[in-house]
Chains A and B, each alone.
Chain A
Amino acid sequence: MDGTVKKPETEKNISEEKENTCEISRRGVLAGSATAAGALILGSCEHAYASVEFSSSKDRYGCLTDLTACVGCRSCEKACNEANNLPQPDVPFDDASVFKEKRRPTANAYTVVNQYPNPKDESKPIYRKIQCNHCNEPGCASACPVHAYTKTKEGAVLYDEDKCFGCRYCMVACPFYVPAYDYESALEPKIAKCILCYDRIKTGGIPACAEACPGGALTFGKRNDLLNMARKKIAEKPDRYIDHIFGEHEAGGTSWIYISGVPFAQLDFPTNLTKRPLIEETKGFLSAVPVVLTVWPAFFGMVYAALQHREGPQKGQKHEKEEEKK
């Protein structure tokens, strides 16, 4: 009797022990794998926005728009049109009727000037020129799935229309609503935007709009020089300017910076931007995606294979026992 009672007990104990060791090891493996995966993600996050090769370039160029100096002559629009060989607009450049509505850059006009009332002096409306601001860390470039965008060391954000497949993520990603889509072309649609006249600045020239501006509203130069110039202007004429350089920190800083006599919100500038580059919001996650897609399947596959290997013989034994009972 005793033997028959004891034997199953010992067998039970052994099987319990086996189960316990198995569970512990499974937990351990799972916990270990989670830690490893977390470390992988965190590790990739830490280095995610370390793409400082353009942010650190002190010699990169920029443009300073003095909104108090713009007289709305639209010479910049015309110069941009000619420099980029864009089609003639429906309304000529010396026709002020375009100011009746607020325009946006389009595939046929990389820069536009809009008119705003001047609360200080009604006879001198304020004009705001809109074009690509050439962010230090461009959101469009981080959103583009095919790497059609390039941030050059000169500061310009370039765009390769041959790579584009028309997803228009960049239009959504841009905080300034700049990239424009060529909706009229059905077969070869392209994104279009200002490229800071890259061919000109590369050879020591200045962008067409800045060259054409008669009133000194557009000044092209090294971004650091322009920031100093803007600070000096504000310090010398505190009545004329508000104490804010738009683009110094907005969205992580932009190559195109602005000074104004009225708050930027009155001129439809986006005022909800953080000082952090927009890339930081997404790049950590996006750079983790390839890691998750490649490392995780391999890692968990290995874990699964290892567990299968352990569980395999057990199941086999049980089957054998069941067969013996029969």
Chain B
Amino acid sequence: MKKFVILVIAIIFCFFLSVSLFAGKNPGVVTLDTISDKYESVIFNHESHTSMAGNCGTCHHEHGNSGALPCKDCHSVTPAVFKNSVVNNFVACKNCHTVSDPDNPVMPGLKVAYHKTCFQCHRGMGNVGTDPKGCTEICHAKKEQSISMKVEK
């Protein structure tokens, strides 16, 4: 019973903190370079995005907003660990999202996880190239003219 109460308090705390604390603290500038052999690395600035998004849950998908994945799965449940996990040790997307798994279609692969998050806002934005506007012209430039879709295993 005691454990349950602590758990409930921790989860409530987790929700409050995710809104209040995230606005100022974030992982800063992240370099997304898992396919840097094909595309230029994407330099992602969290700061400029959090100010527009409001809270982390806006972009960080099912984690927190619709409750598909409980906060504690990534941030533990005790306040101290939670605070540490959102201020200092951030869980990278690629830690969980790897490749698409036919047996677990709900969990998208890393490529889809990234693109889905970006497309939420970047579809229809800007005025470069075709829709989605200018991804590969601005911050996601192709290294070769023609990039094969074949995945090396």
Chain A CB within 8 A of B1 CB? no
Check if A258 is an interface residue, CB within 8 A of chain B: no
Q: Which residue of B lies closest to A121 (CB)?
A: B124
Q: Which chain A residue lies CB-closest to B147?
A: A78
Shortest Cβ distance from residue B136 to the other chain A in the assembled complex, whole angstroms: 8
What's the Cα separation between A206 and B104 when bound, in Å?
A: 12
- Residue of B at shortest CB range from A219? B105
Q: Which of A96, A212, A214 is packed against the most chain B CB atoms within 10 Å? A: A214
Give Cα distance in the complex from A75 to B132, angstroms: 13
Q: How far does the alpha carbon of A201 sit from the alpha carbon of B101 in the complex, in Å?
A: 11
Q: Does A145 contact B (CB under 8 A)?
A: no
| Chain B hits for A125, CB < 8 A | 131
Interface contact tally, CB-CB below 8 A: 70
Please indicate the chain B residues that have their CB under 8 angstroms from the CB of A222 in the complex: 102-103, 105
**Chain B: interface residue total (CB-CB under 8 A):** 23
Q: Does B102 lie within 8 Å of A71, measured CB to CB?
A: no
Which residue of chain A lies nearest to B109 when distances are taken between CB atoms in the complex? A211
Q: Nearest CB to that of A71 among chain B residues?
A: B132
Closest to B104 in A: A221
B106-146 Cβ-contact flags toward A at 8 Å (1 or 0)? 10100110011001000110000011100000000000001
Q: Is the CB of B149 within 8 A of A75?
A: yes
Q: Which residues of chain A are within 8 angstroms of B103 by Cβ–Cβ distance?
A: 221-222
Most buried by A among B100, B104, B116: B100
A212-B149, A215-B116, A220-B100 known, 8 other contacts, Cβ within 8 Å: A69-B116, A71-B119, A121-B124, A208-B149, A210-B100, A219-B105, A221-B103, A225-B106
Pull 10 A–B residue pairs with CB atoms less than 8 Å apart, ordered by A.
A71-B119, A72-B130, A121-B124, A123-B131, A204-B102, A212-B149, A219-B100, A221-B104, A222-B103, A225-B105
Q: Which residues of A contact B (CB under 8 A)?
A: 61, 64, 69, 71-73, 75, 78-79, 82-83, 92, 96, 121, 123-125, 201, 204-206, 208, 210-216, 219-222, 225-226, 229, 236
